[in-house]
Amino acid sequence: MRIAIMSDIHSNLPALEAVLQRIETLGADALHCLGDIVGYGPFPEECIGLVGARCDVVVRGNHDSGLLGETSVEDFNSMGRLALEWTRDRVSAASLTYLRGLPLVCRREEVTFVHSSPASPERWPYVFSLTDAEEAFRAFTTRLCFVGHTHVPVVVGEDLSVNSFGPPGRTEDRARFLVNVGSVGQPRDGDPRAAFGLLDIEAWTYETVRVEYDIPKTQAAIRKAGLPAPLARRLSRGV
Ligand code: ZN
């Protein structure tokens, strides 16, 4: 069974559509989303609709929570705050109800799904360092934990090895991994292409998939919407 996992779409519809198309081509059996469907970008309603229609497991991100007024706007930088205020007038009551129903954490058999970190997910901590990763490992019991939030794809093993996943170990080898799937709509690892993760549970393989999308289209829509210009510019550089 192959599972596609995406995160941090941030209302970037051209990026989301390109990712969904690639997932369809790859023939993944399931698709999960780790939150931050909205924020920063110009297409919130369309993105909530597509995620709701296509995804199996969906958990809530801090921007989704900020839109609902359940995470204080003080917790966001000025651009994030402006974008959330802009978004508030442009999403339907049905979309808000959908976001309100999303859990912070979801577990399916051997896998935990959460936006920020399994260690106090309601406070939205970032996993940037190996110390953060160590703390995260203490907070989940499943074999795998998928996160987003930093917009930087990375795989960390429980032995704190970085970017190695597998190969399939002996049956007694119970290696555990914390995986950041990167961001669909606002990558920050210097690669402007949309990112998502592809897990093959039987083969025990994982890869970060990158997808080109129409960046100028999103940038033009950000400018037309009157959203802060740096939110458009950063997409060209993936920062
Ligand atoms: Zn985000």
| 60 backbone φψ class: left, alpha, beta (φ>0; ψ -120 to 50) | beta
3-state secondary structure of 129: coil
Distance, CA 109 to ligand 1 centroid (Å)? Answer: 26
| Residues that place a CB less than 5 A from ion ligand 1 | 8, 36
Distance, CA 16 to ligand 1 centroid (Å)? Answer: 14
- Residues 6+ away with beta carbon under 8 Å from 124: 62, 71, 75, 115, 116, 149
H helix intervals, the chain: 13-26, 44-54, 62-67, 78-88, 93-100, 130-138, 215-225, 229-237
DSSP letter, residue 226: T
Distance, CA 168 to ligand 1 centroid (Å)? Answer: 31
Distance, CA 151 to ligand 1 centroid (Å)? Answer: 6
pTM: 0.95
3-state secondary structure of 6: strand
Integer Cα distance of 163 and 6 in angstroms: 18
Distance, CA 83 to ligand 1 centroid (Å)? Answer: 12
Distance, CA 177 to ligand 1 centroid (Å)? Answer: 21
Integer Cα distance of 184 and 186 in angstroms: 6
Whether the CB-CB separation of 192 and 215 falls below 8 Å is answered with yes
Residue ranges for the chain with pLDDT beneath 50: 172
Distance, CA 166 to ligand 1 centroid (Å)? Answer: 27
72-89 pLDDT tens trace:
888 899 999 999 999 999
Q: Which long-range contacts (CB under 8 A, 24 or more apart) does 215-222 make?
A: 215/14, 217/14, 218/12, 218/13, 218/14, 218/15, 218/41, 218/42, 218/185, 221/41, 221/42, 221/43, 222/41, 222/42
Asked whether the bond before 167 is cis by omega within 30 degrees of 0, the reply is yes
Distance, CA 172 to ligand 1 centroid (Å)? Answer: 36
Integer Cα distance of 184 and 190 in angstroms: 13
pLDDT of residue 221: 98
